[in-house]
Amino acid sequence: MTDTSRESGSTDSGAGRHLGWALVLICVAQLMVVLDGTIANIAIPYIATDLDIDEANRTWIVTGYALAFGGLLLLGGRLGDLYGRRRLFMSGLIVFAVASALGGLATNEALLIGARSLQGAGAAMAAPAALALITTTFPAGPARNRAFAVYAAMSGVGAAVGLLLGGWLTGLDPELGWRLTFLINTPIGLAAAALAPRFLAESQSHPGEMDVPGAVTATLGLLGVVYGITRAGEDGWGDTWTIASLTAGVALLVAFGVIESRVAHPLLPFRVFMNRTRASSFVAMFLAPAAMFAMFYFLSQYIQLVMGYSPLHAGVAFLPFCLGIMAAAAIGSNLINRVDARVLAGIGTLLAAGGLFGFSRLPYDDTFPLTSDVANYWTDLLPYVLVMSFGMGMTFIPLTLTAVHHLQAEDSGIGSGVLNTMQQVGGALGLSILATVFSQTLQGRQEDVAGYAAGGGNPGDETSIFESLFTEGATNAFLVGALMMLAASAIVWIFLNVKHTELATDGPEAVHLG
């Protein structure tokens, strides 16, 4: 934070150090929250073996976290506005740290999945408060833009760091390593919570304005939608529980909308959506993470299952993504002071779409008998990993800024909660849609495989068949992901119309941003 002392009018570096440490705390919390969505992925086989978790329940190691996180985000954001954002930030970190310890020490399936759900609840408290604290702690202009850039980089880097850290810790010791993926959060979370009062100011509280009916319907509605979407990715959109969960979730969210239009102090004030730039930012941030998280999901499996990389090497393969998105964040934080958000985010989404299209060109053999046609990391993957990372870095920074800019101070927490909800639900929906594309590709090829086997195919071809079919399904999913990213780009270019000079000011909600 090189210029913060000058911007705040201080003649020494005390203010700059204060803001610098505040940003460190906020970004540590965001990094923990995001990476915990993927850090356990590589360790799932070891966890399942150690705790005797059957195949049907393994997905709950990931789903339990995602459900609680996605379902409680709106409530977490509003609680920060009503009871103090620093208080919610600290409480969320403590809950997250304790839940991580419970998960790392779990001796059975129920305790582990319960701990993962509690982690999600802590994350839902800390994440909206963290973003809102940037808005209220850093002055508008270059200082806040740089802070948002670092925050956005943590949001994008977190998933890749989770894969890298999960692979490394699991590789240390298959029996103990998976526990370290949880336990590592505990000292970091507790330390960040303890330091928060020193570097972060508390916001005003309004404890008498809690919208209980809205909180109940919103939370249960989001839980229903996130669960239904997640189940659709596993059991299909025609599954009875998928349909029932989505129907109930949508009905509860409709009821939530009716309640919010009638109460004096709504959980989600509709004025948050009344600004065109902000609304388009929310929609674009719904679509962009959907494609990015799907990239991590399919590419991490491709690298291990088809290319034969170990968990640690698979994590290292994503290291350039971390470096690329951090470089893009540094560039974007400077450009956002001189270039309109629409241009940066528009170019970023186009780059990300190009990266996904590059992944859709991974080589495979679609004829029988199949031969193993495996990508070369340096030529077939690395260029597009870098393009994708730069694209997402250039996308997250301006969209995070425009999504929360010019919100009333009392709405910054819920605005941050909406943004996080869009990312979480969008990621779940995108992954389930692309998983459906993947599974339909495999189902469509079953007759070809059966015909080849019936015709006396070589029994030794099973590995090549699996690799080729997996790659074909993944490339189709990547292509659909590229189309989703292009849709986000179209929204940005058409509707995002705020000048970079506006982002350097703290204006009232009434200011017209386009």
More confident site: 504 or 145: 145
**Average pLDDT of span 91-118:** 95
Residue 514: per-residue pLDDT? 37
**Average pLDDT of span 171-195:** 88
Say if residues 181 and 161 touch (Cβ distance below 8 Å): no
Residue 56: per-residue pLDDT? 64
**Average pLDDT of span 211-238:** 85
Residue 511: per-residue pLDDT? 42
Q: Is the pLDDT of residue 234 over 90?
A: no
Contacts of 266 (CB under 8 A, 6+ apart): 211, 214, 259, 260
Residue 2: per-residue pLDDT? 39
Say if residues 165 and 39 touch (Cβ distance below 8 Å): yes
Q: Is the pLDDT of residue 114 over 50?
A: yes
* Average pLDDT in the chain: 84
Domain range list for the chain: 15-210+265-504, 211-264
Q: Return the minimum-mean-pLDDT range out of 64-68, 167-171, 237-241, 495-499.
A: 167-171
Q: Is the pLDDT of residue 430 over 90?
A: no
Whether pTM > 0.85 for this model: the answer is no
Cα dihedral value 317, 321, 322, 326, nearest 10:
160
Task: Identify residue 428 by its one-letter amino acid code.
Answer: A
Tokens of 307: 């290319």
Where does the pLDDT of residue 14 fall: very low under 50, low under 70, confident under 90, or very high at 90 and above? very low
Tokens of 97: 């740290």
Q: Is the pLDDT of residue 401 over 70?
A: yes
Q: Is the pLDDT of residue 246 over 90?
A: yes
**Terminus-to-terminus CA distance in the chain, angstroms?**
31
Where does the pLDDT of residue 452 fall: very low under 50, low under 70, confident under 90, or very high at 90 and above? low
**Average pLDDT of span 398-411:** 82
Residue 304: per-residue pLDDT? 82
Q: Is the pLDDT of residue 395 over 70?
A: yes
**Average pLDDT of span 68-86:** 88
**Average pLDDT of span 368-387:** 82
Tokens of 465: 């068949």
What length does the chain have?
514
pLDDT tens-digit series, residues 318-369: 889 988 988 998 898 889 888 999 999 999 999 999 999 999 999 887 766 5
Residue 125: per-residue pLDDT? 94
DSSP codes, 361-427? T-----SSS----PPPIIIIIHHHHHHHHHHHHHHHHHHHHHHHTT--GGGHHHHHHHHHHHHHHHH
Residue 460: per-residue pLDDT? 57
Q: CA-CA distance, 158 to 32, in Å (whole number)?
A: 7
CATH topology of domain 15-210+265-504: Growth Hormone; Chain: A; (1.20.1250)
Q: Is the pLDDT of residue 11 over 50?
A: no
Contacts of 126 (CB under 8 A, 6+ apart): 29, 33, 76, 88, 89, 92, 93, 96
Contacts of 427 (CB under 8 A, 6+ apart): 289, 290, 292, 293
Where does the pLDDT of residue 4 fall: very low under 50, low under 70, confident under 90, or very high at 90 and above? very low
Residue 3: per-residue pLDDT? 41
pLDDT tens-digit series, residues 465-500: 778 888 889 999 999 999 999 999 999 999 998 887
More confident site: 299 or 2: 299
More confident site: 29 or 513: 29
According to DSSP, residue 272 is labeled G
The fraction of the chain above a pLDDT of 90, given in percent, is: 32
Cα dihedral value 499, 502, 507, 509, nearest 10:
20
**Average pLDDT of span 421-432:** 82
Residue 404: per-residue pLDDT? 82
Residue 449: per-residue pLDDT? 72
Q: Is the pLDDT of residue 10 over 50?
A: no
Question: Which residue bears the tokens 């990266």?
Answer: 355
Alpha helices in 138-173, H assignment, sequence order: 142-172
Largest CA distance in the chain: 82
Q: CA-CA distance, 467 to 475, in Å (whole number)?
A: 12
Q: Is the pLDDT of residue 1 over 60?
A: no
Cα 294 to Cα 105, 200, 237: the distances in Å are 30, 35, 18
H or E element, residue 106? none
Q: Return the minimum-mean-pLDDT range out of 249-253, 263-267, 284-288, 394-398.
A: 263-267
**Nearest by Cα to 364 from 452, 449, 474, 458:** 474
Q: Is the pLDDT of residue 294 over 80?
A: no
DSSP codes, 184-247? THHHHHHHHHHHHHHH-PPPP--GGG--HHHHHHHHHHHHHHHHHHHHHHHH-TT-HHHHHHHH
Residue 512: per-residue pLDDT? 39
